[in-house]
Structure 1
């Protein structure tokens, strides 16, 4: 497995080795020993989520108050997504910085993001399916949202999907009404720890 840290500390990209033959393909999507060696901590799995999205569906930016925080290990099992990680830890030297990885059913990359980081997914084709491992069970009282189109972040969202089609962004009402970073700063609604892991 090839592993690299993203430009946002506490976020990592994992690219598995794939073994194919006439029967199909085998690969290890997650391996605790390699994860711990790279990241320096175990991953405590408490919940697994799966969602399927049409092309253009944009989920996020979502984050969890820290503490308790929620770490995620995200993989695409069908289709393709742009996976975006944003540093929302207010005392972090990379606060407000973002990085992105295309996760798809070809290279089968995974993205890990530590507690205190924001996360968004843009589906790049119809019926794209994502699987994410979570270190915290769903706790709506800790869930927070940030506007994915906040100009202060300047995220470069693609407008063309994997098959060359023009993407029309589709967001939930909750995500469309999410506050901007400046508002969250005023409300003191941002994670406070900059621990990288």
Structure 2
């Protein structure tokens, strides 16, 4: 597995090696020893989530607070997304910065999102299956978010806003400076 540091502190991209033969294909998508070597501490995933989205559905930017903050390991099973993380850790050297990357069934990238990052993604194909592991259980009282088009963050979602499909809940999220600062 190839491991790349992302520009956001503590965030990593993993690209698995694929082995093909006349039967099909095999790849390792997670290896606990490799995570332990990178993070320096054990990570215990407790919940797996999966969504299926239409083209141009934008989900996010979401995060959990306090004891319910979640580290995530995310990948695309089918289709492709523009995946975005925003560093909301006030003591981080990359606080207030965002990083985006395409995750797809074709490129097989997996992203590790440490606690303290807001996360969202934009489906770029119909029937995109997005799957992620969490190291803490979902807690509705700890759920927070930041509006996708925050003028201070200036996230480039790479499509026109009028094409985006968002939930009412995500459209009502506060700005970065109202939520974090």
* TM, length-normalised to structure 1: 0.87
Helix, strand or coil: the match of 2:45? coil
**1:122-141 pair list within 5 angstroms:** 122-141=122-141
Q: Which residue of 2 is the match for residue 192 of structure 1?
A: none
Give the Å deviation of 1:34. 1.1
Give the Å deviation of 1:185. 3.5
CA distance in 1, matches of 2:111, 2:65: 20
Contact in 1 for aligned 2:9/2:93 (Cα 8 Å): no
Contact in 1 for aligned 2:82/2:100 (Cα 8 Å): yes
Quote the RMSD (CA, aligned, Å): 1.6
Unpaired stretches in structure 2, ≥5 consecutive residues: none
Helix, strand or coil: the match of 1:90? coil
CA distance in 1, matches of 2:39, 2:15: 14
Q: Which residue of 2 is the match for residue 39 of structure 1?
A: 39
Q: Which residue of 2 is the match for residue 185 of structure 1?
A: 180
* TM, length-normalised to structure 2: 0.95
Say how many residue pairs are matched.
181
Contact in 2 for aligned 1:63/1:118 (Cα 8 Å): yes
**1:1-197 pair list within 5 angstroms:** 1-159=1-159, 168-185=163-180
CA distance in 2, matches of 1:93, 1:109: 25
Helix, strand or coil: the match of 2:178? helix
Contact in 2 for aligned 1:63/1:116 (Cα 8 Å): yes
Unpaired stretches in structure 1, ≥5 consecutive residues: 161-165, 187-197
CA distance in 2, matches of 1:101, 1:40: 25
Helix, strand or coil: the match of 2:70? coil
Closer/same/farther in 2, CA of residues 20 and 167 from structure 1, 3 Å limit = farther
Closer/same/farther in 2, CA of residues 16 and 94 from structure 1, 3 Å limit = same
Contact in 2 for aligned 1:56/1:167 (Cα 8 Å): no
Closer/same/farther in 2, CA of residues 50 and 185 from structure 1, 3 Å limit = closer
